[in-house]
Amino acid sequence: MNILIKSAKIVYPQDKGLHLKKKDIFIKNGIIDTISSSVDVPSPTKIIDIKNLHVSLGWMDSGVSFGEPGYEERETLANGLDVAAISGYTDIILNPNTNPLPDTSSDIVFVMEKAKGKTTDLHPLGTLTKNSEGKDLAELFDMGNAGAVGFYDFKKQISNPNLLKIALLYAQNFDGLVFSYPQDGNIKGKGVVNEGENSTVLGLKGIPALAEELQISRDLFILEYTGGKLHIPTISTKNSVKLVAAAKKKGLDVSCSVAIHNLMFTDDSLKDFNTNFKVVPPLRTKEDCKALIKGLKDGVIDYVTTDHTPIDIEEKRVEFDHALEGTIGFESAFGSLNRLFGLEDSIALLTKGRERFAIREPKIAPGATANLCLFNPNVDWVFGPEHIESTSKNSMFLETTLKGKVYGTINNNQIALSNFE
């Protein structure tokens, strides 16, 4: 397949000769053939010519959930990957949030086989413990050999500190990446929202920041003792940023992420008891949001994630206490980040992180495999139900003004475009 991207501004700071320059990009059979001010192309060639078109490397998300196997009513692998592709993502890390849970090599192989042939590449996580029960380590080495890029008991704390110690020690034998969810379940208790003034006014049980910060402190002490590689997904508090910063200053091999919705929204959004705003970790305060944004700018927080979690309507249209946690986030991701950080910083955040998960780093250069995102950063628009392509519709971004629209991606000698025309 031949593709010509006409007169696109390339956002690629790795090459000063291309960065923010308008160029034609000719792609032949999935490989970038020519980058020039003007390209003559053979017939037939699909020509992409869009006003104010921008191009960057394809984006990566370090933690998304679908449903298959077990919860196909929420999202299938096929549709989830299609939505990721038209939202700008060419690589996603898939959370172990299914039934059955992926705790063996055969489970990893199943997911990877189902995901073949898509524009977006899927990189699965295996569970850290068998059935995510927090008792015995799962088949980490075998799952790693099968393609798992890390090990995570999704949204569950590792209650036993010795188990985390053993996991970090064992995973060093094959350079494995251990995830530890930052929440002490005993302190969280039955909490459903951030503990503070709003939880009191609304009469909802609170989750104190201490629940997150205590777990992170413990995990970092263990990491300092064992060595190894630790990833802390979706931190949400001001002091969590400080704890990670101090650990990095010591030279510990720790990374962390933050969910985009924890940058955009606070617990002030809960006043209408809209269950789309029920997430874990919970929405925190304005002070926390500011600290998280600063943490990203300073490089303390490594990655932004959509924390895309489809939940079907039956599990959301219930009383707030009983609703499942989660919001979808693919379709609104770029427009949210671009509004907060601007073009170049947003693209830097969206394209970083592959090396942490041992994923091949793409390039924009002749001879390189085309792994590209197409977008317009200068469109202001209001996100509505008609913009949701996910099977589940549980988005807290509805009625939010966003800046920038994604047209699609090119990867694996395929092209996925949204209905922008």
- Which positions are annotated as active-site residues? 307
292 Cβ partners below 8 Å, 6+ apart? 235, 236, 238, 241, 258, 262, 263, 301
Q: How far apart are CA 350 and CA 352, in angstroms?
A: 6
Determine if residue 310 is left, alpha or beta; phi over 0 gives left, psi from -120 to 50 gives alpha, anything else beta.
beta
Nearest-angstrom CA–CA distance, 240 and 412: 38
Q: Which amino acid is at 72?
A: E
SS3 165: helix
**Measured between alpha carbons, how far is 416 from 84 in angstroms, rounded to an integer?**
10
Spatial neighbors of 201 by CB under 8 A, at least 6 apart, are: none
Contacts 24+ apart (CB under 8 A), 71-78: 71/98, 71/99, 71/312, 73/312, 73/391, 74/310, 74/311, 74/312, 74/391, 74/392, 75/310, 75/390, 75/391, 75/392, 76/391, 77/111, 77/114, 77/115, 77/122, 78/114, 78/118
